[in-house]
């Protein structure tokens, strides 16, 4: 993610710290962003940002201040401390992305990933942020897999995305079954989840062997396993 942050910062002629703040805040590198603002003396909000980022965001008052600015950016209210920063013509970073950055600065990972999913329409960015901030065993990462990634996989008919999500959720049985079972839709998915809760692993393994045998008989090519 640090490479992404560096590349975003280097894009264009002007070195704009707002374009990389989301990624650096996810990495916990607030002081690095502060240093980038020192180099952005051309920016109308540089002094304000330098002053704000000099605070200790381990303290509740400054986390709250960051969250207030995030909500102000989302609501596009001019009383937000950095709203003018997001509206500046020289800024290529959209207000919603900057809002996600401030949510991270304020310690609210869930709000940040919700902005990515609902406002930016980028669930992959949300997953990446969760993995970096809290790891793959964290509650937000698990929430994204269950409530966002799996539904998207079924809506788009993306077996591999669904399999990856189940694998990360430690449901290896479902991760394999989703790749080999034909005609899985939302209704069958619900049935699949119910089956996985009722049956033991040996029973599911037996069911999977039968499914593989049927798939082999119905076609001599791997297209049998395509999503239908």
Q: Domain check: are 27 and 124 in the same one?
A: yes
The answer to whether residues 99 and 203 belong to one domain is no
Q: Give long-range contacts, CB 8 A cutoff, 24+ apart: 195-202.
A: 196/171, 201/173
Instruction: Examine the domain organization and report whether 42 and 98 are in the same domain.
Output: yes
Helices (H), the chain: 2-10, 21-26, 30-39, 46-53, 60-75, 83-87, 95-105, 109-114, 123-134, 139-144, 150-156, 159-168, 172-180, 186-198, 201-218
Write down how long the chain is. 228
Question: Along the 228 residues of the chain, how does pLDDT read in single tens digits?
Answer: 999 999 999 987 788 999 999 999 999 999 999 999 999 988 888 999 999 999 999 999 999 999 999 999 998 643 444 444 444 434 456 789 999 999 999 999 999 999 999 999 999 999 999 999 999 999 999 999 999 999 998 888 888 999 999 999 999 988 998 888 765 555 555 555 455 445 444 454 455 445 444 444 443 333 333 332
Based on the fold, state whether residues 43 and 25 are members of the same structural domain.
yes
| pLDDT at residue 13, rounded to an integer | 79
Cα–Cα distance for residue pair 59/10, rounded to 1 Å: 31
In angstroms, the Cα distances linking 177 to 24, 160, 181, 188 are: 38, 11, 6, 12
**Is 8 in the same domain as 117?**
yes
Spatial distance between the Cα atoms of 124 and 129, rounded to a whole number of angstroms: 9
Whether 150 and 111 map to the same domain: the answer is no
The last residue of one of the domains, among 133, 155, 190, is 133
d(Cα 114, Cα 105) in Å, to the nearest integer? 15
Calpha distance 138→146 (Å, rounded): 13
């Amino acid at each position: 993610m640090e490479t992404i942050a560096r590349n975003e910062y280097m894009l264009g002629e002007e070195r704009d710290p707002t374009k990389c703040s989301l990624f650096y805040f996810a990495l916990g590198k607030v002081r690095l962003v502060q240093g980038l603002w020192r180099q952005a003396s051309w920016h109308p909000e540089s002094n304000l940002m330098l002053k704000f980022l000099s605070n200790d965001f381990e303290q509740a008052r400054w986390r709250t201040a960051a969250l207030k600015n995030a909500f102000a950016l989302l609501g596009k209210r001019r009383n937000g401390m950095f709203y003018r920063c997001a509206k500046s013509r020289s800024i290529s970073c959209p207000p919603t992305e900057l809002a996600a950055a401030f949510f991270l600065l304020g310690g609210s990972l869930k709000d940040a990933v919700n902005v990515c999913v609902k406002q930016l329409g980028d669930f992959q960015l949300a997953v990446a942020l969760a993995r970096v901030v809290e790891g793959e065993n964290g509650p937000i990462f698990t929430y994204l897999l269950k409530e966002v990634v799996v539904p998207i996989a079924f809506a788009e008919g993306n077996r591999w995305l669904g399999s990856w999500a189940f694998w990360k959720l430690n449901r290896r049985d479902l991760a394999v079954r989703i790749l080999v079972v034909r005609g899985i839709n939302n209704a069958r998915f619900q049935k699949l989840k119910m089956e996985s809760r009722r049956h033991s692993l040996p029973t599911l393994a037996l069911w999977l062997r039968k499914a593989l045998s049927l798939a082999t008989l119905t076609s001599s090519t791997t297209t049998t396993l395509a999503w239908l």
